[in-house]
């Protein structure tokens, strides 16, 4: 006698929100194939087994599987390893998890017949039914192997271990002897079968076939049009791109070419054999091991789309549509329609991929064009800036051409030639360069190294650094004394003026290539500058003559050295000509070994074409050597004090305060140096 199925009087659909917390004990494991097990077994978590012990354990598991004793040996396995290799479940961890959960649950609740006014006797009678069949096919030993083999699809369908709710109903043979089978079915009524709907088969088939052919024709036409346009676009793009650009975009171009090749085979050639060979080109790449290859993979080995293996030529669509004529039921029509969609899906992926490839290539080309245009604009701007910077100011062009040449003397001529310290002159001091360079080598070389680092980031710079008393500057001083030994108009030290001593120290100076500025000596003091290496052109003028000219041009006082230098450098050729008609402009080209004397207050414009280094030594000119010198210092002092009164920045105030102090000390030193002259009173700085 067969089993009679129960009938539920009530079915409920329930949704609930469940919050819970507690302790969960998990036993974790992993499905491992042989190579993975051998690696795992040698780790600390795997027991640090020897290779022989690990292989022996694996062989025992394989034997249990082959002998069909895996269930008895608690060995769970499947064949989902690489290339279908055997995998064994290996325990990897035991975990105790303190878990808090907030879950939304859905369930179907089936309720059987309800007994009203039930007694304890009724409950005792139903209890065996509640406990019956729960254990059948539901123990862990039964379910775990199925879960291991089925994986994520274990609950997708009833595979034989999932409990059927109807199995909870008692079998006929388990009923009491006093119960009749018909009694259990009391009140049951057979539900009538749903009436069958008659379908006009010929009409449905004809309409489906007509619609499919129309859709296929439109699909094929659009595919051919896209193929033709993209092949033409490919030719144009390759013609416009240079070899370097094609090399940079090799991946995108290869991918596009592969997709166009597949489109040509499927839509235009309709060659099934060629399509099989095309698909086979990529099958080996897809089937390769997941590890990274040792050798580079050539461009163009990537499949054209995800469903490339299911690609078919478009004539297969016509063949598939013809199967509508074989349909005899509505389900057959649905099956053919589904088959058509499956045929079209890879082709649609192919068309979409080709469109994306073309767009990405065009977008990349536009980006490269913008980058090239931006770079060209920067180069053009840089060229214009370079051309502009290469244009020398008129001071170093027309000024040098029309200025007076500075007098050049040999060392022997300095004493006998009655040197005029009111104007510039150059002494050919090549003979002292070697000795002076050697004496200051340590300090000067350090300055040169620092200067070279600085000019790498700041082009066209100029800098200087004082040489301490122990740095060898005394040798330069002695050599200068030897040259000017027959002249009693210079003093190289300020013995009685302590505030001036630190400003009388010898210093190294460096001028970078491209320097074309105008400046004056610190505190406008007189100085000797010896060029040790390099070449530069100088253009010089007296500051009093320049200030007078500026005032005649309408420039209001005070006119500090910064404004004087800017005005002189920015003079136009016409203004330079006018200035040279009213004042003096001096010029010369200084080479290594040339030592130039710079009188008090002179401004110097320098155009440096070769990296230049040298030494500077401030000097004190006796008042008797230059009748106008004391008046010039007084005017410079007045100018500095006026500028200081209007200064607002702390750095400017500090510099001007020092300059005022130096000028006052300089006046005192000049009077002390001049024999028979009494020093004038000097106010506190």
Q: What is the DSSP string of 444-506?
A: HHHHHHHHHHHHHHSTT-EEEEEPPGGGTHHHHHHHHHHHTTT--SEE---TT-HHHHTTSS-
> Do residues 115 and 40 make contact, with C-beta atoms less than 8 angstroms apart?
no
Q: In terms of pLDDT, which residue wins out, 315 or 170? A: 315
Distance CA(226)–CA(224), nearest Å, equals 5
pLDDT at position 167 is: 42
Task: Report yes or no on 467 lying in a domain.
Answer: yes
pLDDT surpasses 50 at 455: yes
Statement to judge: residues 168 and 207 lie in one domain: no
Statement to judge: residues 173 and 221 lie in one domain: no
Domain finish residue from 373, 407, 424: 373
pLDDT surpasses 50 at 255: yes
Lowest-confidence range among 386-390, 667-671, 678-682? 678-682
Strands 425-428, 404-405: pairing is unpaired
What is the 3 state secondary structure string of 219-271? HHHHHHHHHHHHHHHHHHHHHHCCHHHHHHCHHHHHHHHHHHHHHHHHHHHCC
Q: Strands, E, within 518-621: which ranges?
A: 518-520, 527-533, 536-541, 586-590, 594-598, 603-608, 612-618, 620-621
pLDDT at position 175 is: 43
Is residue 525 packed enough to be buried (19+ CB in 10 Å), middle (13-18) or exposed (0-12)?
buried
Closest CA to 408 of 385, 428, 380: 428
> Do residues 625 and 583 make contact, with C-beta atoms less than 8 angstroms apart?
no
Averaged pLDDT, 469-497: 76
pLDDT band at 396 (very low <50, low <70, confident <90, very high): confident
pLDDT at position 684 is: 33
Q: How far is CA 448 from CA 74, 217, 462, 512, in A?
A: 83, 82, 12, 11
Statement to judge: residues 162 and 283 lie in one domain: no
Please state whether 246 falls in left (phi above 0), alpha (psi between -120 and 50) or beta: alpha
Strands 407-409, 425-428: pairing is parallel
> Do residues 535 and 613 make contact, with C-beta atoms less than 8 angstroms apart?
no
Q: In terms of pLDDT, which residue wins out, 265 or 141? A: 265
> Do residues 531 and 614 make contact, with C-beta atoms less than 8 angstroms apart?
yes
Closest CA to 584 of 596, 568, 572, 597: 568
Closest CA to 302 of 353, 344, 345, 236: 353
Statement to judge: residues 457 and 555 lie in one domain: yes
Domain of 466, in residue numbers: 394-623
Task: Report yes or no on 653 lying in a domain.
Answer: no
What mean pLDDT, rounded, does the chain reach?
80
> Do residues 18 and 101 make contact, with C-beta atoms less than 8 angstroms apart?
yes
Q: In terms of pLDDT, which residue wins out, 14 or 462? A: 462
CA angle (70 as vertex; 67, 75 as ends), nearest 5? 140
Nearest-Å Rg of the Cα atoms of the chain is 52
pLDDT at position 664 is: 83
Averaged pLDDT, 497-509: 80
- For 339-378, the pLDDT digits (tens) are 889 888 999 988 998 898 888 888 888 888 888 888 888 8
Task: Report yes or no on 638 lying in a domain.
Answer: no
Domain finish residue from 566, 592, 623: 623
List all residues 6 or more positions away from 587 whose beta carbon is below 8 Å from its beta carbon: 399, 400, 403, 404, 405, 406, 537, 538, 539, 540
Statement to judge: residues 76 and 157 lie in one domain: yes
Chain position carrying tokens 């290594």: 592
pLDDT at position 157 is: 46
pLDDT at position 458 is: 84
Task: Report yes or no on 637 lying in a domain.
Answer: no
What share of the chain in percent tops pLDDT 90? 15
DSSP label at residue 677: P
Domain finish residue from 339, 373, 407: 373
Statement to judge: residues 328 and 399 lie in one domain: no
pLDDT band at 146 (very low <50, low <70, confident <90, very high): low
Statement to judge: residues 220 and 112 lie in one domain: no
Task: Assign 3-state DSSP to the chain and report helix, strand, coil percentages, each to 5.
Answer: 50, 15, 30
Q: Which tokens hold the place of 333?
A: 């029509």
Measured from the Cβ of residue 384, the count of other Cβ atoms closer than 10 Å reads 10
Statement to judge: residues 17 and 165 lie in one domain: yes
Measured from the Cβ of residue 250, the count of other Cβ atoms closer than 10 Å reads 12
pLDDT at position 121 is: 80
Statement to judge: residues 488 and 456 lie in one domain: yes
Closest CA to 223 of 347, 353, 361: 347
pLDDT surpasses 70 at 131: no
Task: Report yes or no on 55 lying in a domain.
Answer: yes
pLDDT surpasses 60 at 233: yes
Task: Report yes or no on 571 lying in a domain.
Answer: yes
pLDDT at position 612 is: 94
Q: Side by side, which strands form the sheet with 603-608?
A: 404-405, 586-590, 536-541, 603-608, 518-520
Lowest-confidence range among 168-177, 256-265, 276-285, 623-632? 168-177
Q: Side by side, which strands form the sheet with 612-618?
A: 407-409, 425-428, 594-598, 527-533, 612-618, 507-511, 462-466
Predicted TM-score (pTM) of this structure: 0.45
pLDDT surpasses 80 at 188: no
Q: Which tokens hold the place of 362?
A: 């065009």
Task: Report yes or no on 245 lying in a domain.
Answer: yes
Q: In terms of pLDDT, which residue wins out, 67 or 369? A: 67
pLDDT at position 184 is: 44
Q: Which tokens hold the place of 50?
A: 């020897």
pLDDT at position 477 is: 85
Measured from the Cβ of residue 203, the count of other Cβ atoms closer than 10 Å reads 9
Top mean pLDDT of 103-112, 299-308, 481-490 is at: 299-308
Statement to judge: residues 347 and 457 lie in one domain: no
Task: Report yes or no on 111 lying in a domain.
Answer: yes
- For 590-645, the pLDDT digits (tens) are 999 999 989 988 999 999 989 999 999 888 887 777 778 888 888 888 888 888 88
pLDDT band at 179 (very low <50, low <70, confident <90, very high): very low
Domain tally for the chain?
3
Residue 281 host element (H or E): helix 272-286
Averaged pLDDT, 460-487: 83
Statement to judge: residues 485 and 542 lie in one domain: yes
Distance CA(615)–CA(508), nearest Å, equals 5
Averaged pLDDT, 78-90: 89
The enclosing domain of 570 has a CATH number of 2.60.120.10
Statement to judge: residues 516 and 429 lie in one domain: yes
pLDDT band at 679 (very low <50, low <70, confident <90, very high): very low
Q: Which tokens hold the place of 303?
A: 């499949």
pLDDT surpasses 60 at 29: yes
């Amino acid at each position: 006698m067969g089993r009679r199925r129960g009938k539920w009087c009530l079915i409920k659909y329930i949704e609930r929100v469940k919050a819970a917390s507690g302790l969960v004990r998990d036993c974790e494991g992993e499905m491992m194939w042989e190579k993975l097990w051998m690696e795992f077994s040698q780790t600390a978590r795997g027991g640090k087994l020897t290779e022989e012990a690990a292989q022996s354990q694996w062989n025992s598991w394989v034997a249990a599987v082959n002998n069909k004793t895996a269930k008895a040996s608690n060995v769970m396995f499947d064949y989902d390893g690489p290339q279908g290799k055997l995998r064994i479940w290996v325990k990897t961890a035991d975990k105790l998890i303190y878990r808090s959960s907030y879950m939304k649950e859905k369930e179907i609740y089936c309720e059987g017949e309800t007994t009203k006014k039930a007694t304890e006797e009724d409950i005792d009678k139903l209890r065996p039914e509640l406990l019956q069949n729960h254990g059948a096919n539901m123990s862990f030993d039964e379910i775990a192997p199925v879960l291991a083999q089925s994986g994520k699809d274990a609950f997708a369908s009833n595979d034989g271990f999932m409990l059927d709710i109807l199995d909870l109903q008692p079998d006929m043979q388990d009923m009491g002897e006093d119960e009749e089978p018909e009694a259990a079915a009391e009140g049951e009524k057979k539900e009538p079968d749903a009436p069958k709907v008659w379908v006009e088969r010929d009409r449905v088939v004809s309409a489906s076939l007509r619609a499919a052919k129309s859709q296929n024709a439109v699909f094929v036409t659009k595919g051919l049009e896209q193929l033709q346009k993209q092949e033409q676009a490919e030719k144009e793009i390759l013609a416009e791109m240079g070899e370097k650009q094609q090399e940079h975009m090799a991946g995108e171009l290869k991918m596009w070419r592969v997709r166009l090749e597949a489109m040509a085979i499927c839509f235009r050639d309709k060659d099934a054999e060629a399509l099989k060979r095309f698909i086979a080109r990529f099958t080996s790449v897809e089937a390769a091991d997941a590890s990274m290859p040792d050798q580079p993979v050539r461009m163009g080995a990537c499949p054209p789309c995800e469903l490339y293996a299911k690609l078919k030529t478009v004539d297969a669509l016509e063949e598939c549509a013809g199967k509508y004529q074989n349909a005899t039921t509505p389900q057959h029509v649905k099956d053919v329609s589904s088959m058509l969609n499956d045929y079209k899906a890879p082709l649609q992926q192919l068309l979409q991929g080709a469109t994306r490839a073309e767009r990405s290539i065009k977008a990349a080309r536009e980006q490269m064009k913008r980058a090239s245009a931006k770079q060209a604009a920067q180069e053009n701007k840089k060229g214009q800036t370079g051309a502009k910077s290469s244009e020398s100011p008129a001071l170093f062009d027309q000024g040098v051409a029309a200025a007076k040449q500075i007098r050049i003397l040999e060392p022997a001529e300095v004493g006998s030639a009655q040197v005029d310290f009111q104007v510039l002159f150059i002494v050919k001091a090549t003979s002292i360069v070697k000795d002076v360079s050697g004496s200051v080598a340590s300090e000067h070389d350090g300055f040169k190294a620092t200067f070279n680092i600085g000019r790498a980031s700041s082009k066209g710079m100029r800098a200087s650094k004082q040489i301490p008393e122990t740095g060898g500057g005394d040798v330069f001083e002695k050599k200068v004394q030897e040259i000017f030994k027959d002249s009693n108009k210079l003093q190289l030290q300020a013995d009685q003026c302590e505030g001036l001593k630190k400003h009388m120290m010898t210093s190294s100076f460096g001028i970078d290539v491209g320097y074309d500025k105008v400046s004056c000596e610190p505190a406008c003091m007189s100085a000797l500058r010896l060029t040790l290496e390099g070449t530069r052109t100088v253009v010089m003028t007296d500051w009093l003559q320049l200030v007078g000219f500026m005032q005649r041009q309408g420039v209001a006082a005070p006119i500090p050295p910064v404004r004087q230098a800017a005005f002189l450098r920015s003079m136009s050729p016409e203004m330079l000509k006018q200035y040279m008609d009213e004042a003096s402009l001096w010029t010369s080209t200084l080479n290594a070994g040339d030592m130039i004397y710079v009188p008090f207050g002179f401004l110097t414009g320098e155009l440096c074409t070769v990296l230049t280094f040298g030494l500077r030594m401030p000097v004190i000119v006796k008042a008797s050597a230059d009748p106008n010198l004391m008046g010039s210092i007084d005017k410079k002092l007045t100018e500095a004090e006026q500028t200081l009164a209007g200064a607002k920045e702390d750095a400017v105030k500090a510099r001007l305060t020092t300059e005022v102090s130096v000028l006052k000390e300089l006046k005192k030193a000049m009077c002390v140096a001049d024999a028979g002259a009494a020093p004038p009173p000097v106010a506190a700085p």
